[in-house]
Structure 1
Amino acid sequence: MKIKTLTLVHYRNYTKQLIEFSDGINIFLGQNAQGKTNLMEAIYFLSLTKSHRTSHDKEVIQWENDFARLEAVLQKKELIIPISLIVHQKGKKASIGHIEQKKLSHYISYVNVVLFAPEDLSLIKGAPHLRRRFIDMELGQMNTTYLAHLSEYKKIVKQRNSYLKGMQIDPIYFDVLTEELAKHAGALLYYRLQFIQKLEYYAFKITEHISMQQDKLSLVYDTPISIISEDTKESLIEKYLVIYRKNKHKEIEQRLTLYGPHREDFLMYINGKNAQMYASQGQQRTIALSLKLAEIDLFKEITGEYPILLLDDVLSELDDFRQTYLLKSIENKGQTFITTTNLAGIQKHIVQTPKVFNIEEGCVHVNG
């Protein structure tokens, strides 16, 4: 999968910009606050219909304009396909091949991206919602069924919580909501367990390699559900129902849905110790790097294509050894975009010639 061209209209500090990319490594070079990260965000936004920097879509619309438009020409295997996303003050419209998509969930899995940014380094020691978001964003791209279950699950949690805050609870209606909740919770857990298992397979090998066989990484999904290897979606649904029934009065008393994938976590262990508590700063960086590189291989396994990789100001957070490992690892693994203020620091680590773009005050020029 490759982005051949990107067009931005009224997006952040870009009034109108057309950029033609290399199929290999593309570098956005410039000083801070010139628009490098805005370009990265635009690629991410166009792929996933949301920003990694803000939860308010209208913030990407250029000042004193009513909309932002993002367009790209994609190459998926032998196919050349245009896609577009229009962001208005009150919503978004996405198109594939000039055909508007009725549901954004149908569009999201069409372009696969992996973003590695400085905030990803907090994945290990940060709050559980960061790790849940990590799973949802990556697994949602790989599995449209997961994305559909996630959308329905969130709606039911919101509806159930609203109902729990009401004055009176109808036991029959509450049970109906609970059964619907368990149906989607079981499916989400089923797919998350598969994802964590496959991610661990790749991340374990990468961690060993980076640490020169010193560190062993394991991933454990943290849920009140008792998991066995023979579990199916149906058995997990039943297990959630048992928990919901057992804690029905507790949830009614606290007026909140206390159990389910929206409250769960996944834990990382380094040499058998909880990384959140015991990992050194270097080990944290190794784990974050391993997870991101593992995602690339997992995308290839599941979709048959490497994803588009976005490295946004993350190289400066890594030491020279990990920088070298990262840049060597991504060679010949699809299309990559890198932001930097220092070109020399990158060029010494890569063999292939990158396409370099100078970014200055919202204008993009090809270097040389």
Structure 2
Amino acid sequence: MMEWLPAVLGFLIGAVLAWAIATARSKARSAAAEAREQEVRQQFQSRDTELHDVREKLADSERTRVAAETLAGDTERNLLQQRVLLEEARNKLGETFRSLVHPLEEALSGYQRATSGELGSVAEQLRGVAQAEGKLQAETARLVNALRSHQARGRWGEITLRRIVELAGMSSYCDFSEQESVSTEDGRLRPDMIVKLPADRVVVVDSKVPLEGYLDALEAVTEEEREAALTRHVAQVNQHIARLAAKEYWSQFSASSEFVVLFIPNDSFLAAAAERDRNLLETALAKRIVIATPATLFALLRAIEYGWRQAKLADNAQRISELGQELYDRLATWAEHLNKVGAALRDAMESYNAAVGSLEMRVFPAARKFKELGAGGKREIEELESIEQAPRPLTAPEREERP
């Protein structure tokens, strides 16, 4: 029996191990089944959720479709209405446009009829303008040729100078003189104009017209020719400045100012020279030469004219003072004579009153007795009135007593 015990124990242990293994396998299969079931449930829930979302999206799509169909219907109806309104507006606009355009068409037709004849006259006028332009060009060419003459340029400068003097109002005061001359060791110097200043001073003005280089620049074809001509123009202006400074008019005329005016009768002439010689004006001033164009000379002459007016006002004030003193002396003499007349009137008044008193006291009483005795005449003897008011004494205003 003891020999079977290990076999029985081995069998029991094997059975227990088999049962444990079977149980473990069963639990493992059960856990796997549960896990699989749980996974399937989760998949079903996920599918349900997705299905629910799909159903909601389908419902939204249906609602959107219905709304779109409704909107499409409304839009179609609105389009039909807009087409009707547009057609009506188009018809009305066409009628309005025709009513507006018709008068314009008539006016335009009338304007065309009116201007059709004028176009011919305009063309004729244009031909006349073209002819006048040709004549003007010819006259300009002749003028340019004339200005190349020294005598013609000098005459033009003198005429321009006189015109500016007239515009400045100097000719009415006769405060300028032209073509005066002075004798020197080198001959006679003759400035173009001498402008008189107050206090017996004068300003000498000499007119120069540097035109050769300037005209060549205007007629130049290339830029090099133009620059060369303008360079000659600057040199000519500097030559005029040097020659005028060499004459020393300020020492030849005793009453002359310390400078001489070089008059250039066109601003463009000076501007063209000063543009290329920046020190032109300073060079002239250093030589006691003041360069003046028509504008600056006019301003200078107006200032001189103003000085003359102020000087004349001062002279008039002195003359008025002298006349006042003379009038005062004459009034004093007249007052003396009037006082003498007043004294004579007072003496005559006193003599008259004395005569009246004598008649009243001594003569008239006796004469009235003749009337009482019947020997009087037809007329009555009038009463004589004495003069009681004496002549007013003549008193100068400054001697009257003031309250």
**Who wins on radius of gyration, i.e. which is larger?**
2
TM-score clears 0.5:
no
As a proportion of its length, which structure holds more helix? 2
TM-score normalised by L of structure 1: 0.22
As a proportion of its length, which structure holds more strand? 1
